[in-house]
Chain A
Amino acid sequence: MLKKLFTPKTIILLAAVCLFPLVAYGSDRIVDFLYQRGILLEIPSARYLLRVVVMACLYMLLALGLNIVPGFTGLLDLGYVGFYLVGGYTAGLLMARLGWSYWIALPLAAIHGALWGLLRGAPTLRLTGDYFAIVTFGFSELLFRIVKNEEWLIGGPNGFVNDIPAPNLFGYELYAYWQQYYHILILLGITIIVVYRLQHSRVGRAWAAIREDERAAESMGINLREYKSLAFAVSAAIGAVGGAFFAQFQVNISAGAFEFWESIFILCMVVLGGLGTIKGSILGAGILGVLGELLRPFGGWRYLIFGIILILIMRFRPAGLLAPKEQD
């Protein structure tokens, strides 16, 4: 794996990724310098660029997490935003209301998310196809309504949690966008490694077997209950980590960020890149994450375009932009 990782191409890519904030802030300086000499350059500011990229990275993390259930085990999850919500509110409430450290809140959020994943998974283990999709959808909608309406639980109307503090690392507050950028990069890197290692292990092969034919997998001795539960828990934990990051990045969160369409947005990314592939999830989330931020001012057009993308991809390239190779 190491040999494959350190080819010249990947090293250049890694370097570019790591040096991105430097380039962004550098271009800011150049724009400033030219502006003082009367030349106006229309380049987006480093803050904006970094924000777009951080959100895209967050979506990559979420897409990787979602991909585990529909991509690896073949069960359509329409309620992934539910775990994102659980993570966001766990971390947000622990930090803003109880003053806990982010470094404790983050793993707790992941564990809490995984618990919900198991909880949701338990009654749905026997369900397949459409019925599973509907239960996941109803589950996330219920969580959304609870957070939106239960003020005693959240402490604010419409699920408002204000002033979530920045993570504190050895006395440094990590609030600047470049710090957030490296922060999400590290989380994303860990997620990629975890998902990659899982996919190329006994577990990943069991998942693939379940996806291809549940009954055949069971008759080959794969414990459906265990492997499906594991998929739900890992997927949910990654979603919750994303939520925890989102909470401290946004500083203020409200229920509106966790609506049903967010689940579809993430699904759209996974489907665009190719269900069941790590590269596909990253590519799809990269494209749609950036596009989503750029199209944000256009409101309605955004989701209209996402809808059309879903339809076109299913019609003309159902395996996604990066079609998966046959597993050996």
Chain B
Amino acid sequence: MIPGDGAGGALMATVALPLAGSLLAVVLGRHGAQVAGGVALGVGAAVAVLAAQVAGGGVLRVDLGGWAPPLGIALMADGLAVAFLGLGAVVMAAVVAQAAALFSTRGGESRAGYGFWPLVMVLWAALNLTFLSRDLFNLYVALELLTLGAVALVAIGGQAGPLAAALRYMVFALMGSLLYLLGAVLLYAAHGTLDIDLLAIRAQPAPPDLVAAGLITAGLAVKTALFPFHAWLPPAHAGAPAPASAVLSALVPKGSFFILWRLWFEAMPDLAAPPVLTLLAGLGGAAVIYGSALALMQGRLKMIVAYSTVAQLGYLFLVFPLAGGAGAAQPWEASAWTGTAFQALSHGLAKAAMFLAAGLFVMAVGHDRLEGLRGLARTMPMAVFGFGLAAVALLGLPPSGGFTAKYLVMTAAFASGQVVWAGVLVVGGLLAAGYLYRPMAALFADAAPGPLTPVPRRLQALPLLLAGLAIGLGVASDAPITFLAIGRPDAAAEGL
């Protein structure tokens, strides 16, 4: 592990390739889809190489420009980061494939066909950087790029509704950015560094650090749509074109959550006071219940799937008291940490599958109102089956990755005596069964669907593939569990 040695090539490629692709797409316009296809292949290969490097040689660090922190910026690939890079690579590949059909520029360059490709690749580069960067200001720039790409993708449909949703999203997200930046400035003033590993040594429970942690946490919570800051998410995610929705719902909130996770487990584990951890998990629990309840009341498929994201993101916040809190150094804490990683990965795959499937239903029927989807299982069996498998993963039924996630988190909840969080898992699962039953019942209804626009079979295979991976994550869970443990912070095993 020599900092900045040649091994940094694959690590850098996961960010540099999408960046280069977005620049190329700005120039080439009509060929954005081909550029994105090439980038998807390249990033996929780079993540595979990086995964082999990390599995073989452990955590990989690169000091950019050869300047070590605190002067320079370090990037780091551990098991967690590479797993999320992999999630991004798989989801993006499927999104690029579906979007190539939707934003085709065969008849000449068009507005949406031009804008989509640079934006989606910029977003991808920013997302990968949130997984790799160890510098809180560099992470701020990554968040800004992520937000900008995401907001523009919401608006790219061009209708008034999504435009308003995009504007609302931007106001919320920029507020979150400012809070985050204020916190980062405070940390720099107090410690002369923004490097996560140096902060871990220097942070202390004094007013500047406490206020900074509070501001950063609040900012990231807004960006992750944690209850009660969730109001921007459903209209934005449901209003975007389906491939964009898949990116926005499956990946984008994971970026801000990932930083929150790094902050508490790696940068300032000693600052975590039990009331703060309980508050975060309490809001997460509220998000599970409230998001699920509202998902039950929606009449449009994409709104159901979007509210489900609010609920599913809530589960992630249970990690804070469960992987730490009162009982330090207990054997179950690593299982809550690993379970949460599984929840994020499994939700990412399943949610992308659902939105891509929903996009195909819209392509076929022309809208996404539930009553119009009746009987689609007959005509689009592959896409509907993909949607169903994704539902299995979201519900946490065995043998899906969602099941592994809930099993690990629930074990931790019982073993640590914090049974209330297990209750959240159970109630959330039941509510999810409720809100997913309605679209499933419509899709499998014994009715002949109305006139349909035919949807190519290769597009129908994409959601099935993603949902299959979400199931496979649970079937073959040993390898990912071992991989995630590479470079796992001590706090995850010893407690916050």
B is a partner of A: no
Q: Which residues from chain A sit less than 8 Å from chain B, CB to CB?
A: none
Q: Which residues from chain B sit less than 8 Å from chain A, CB to CB?
A: none
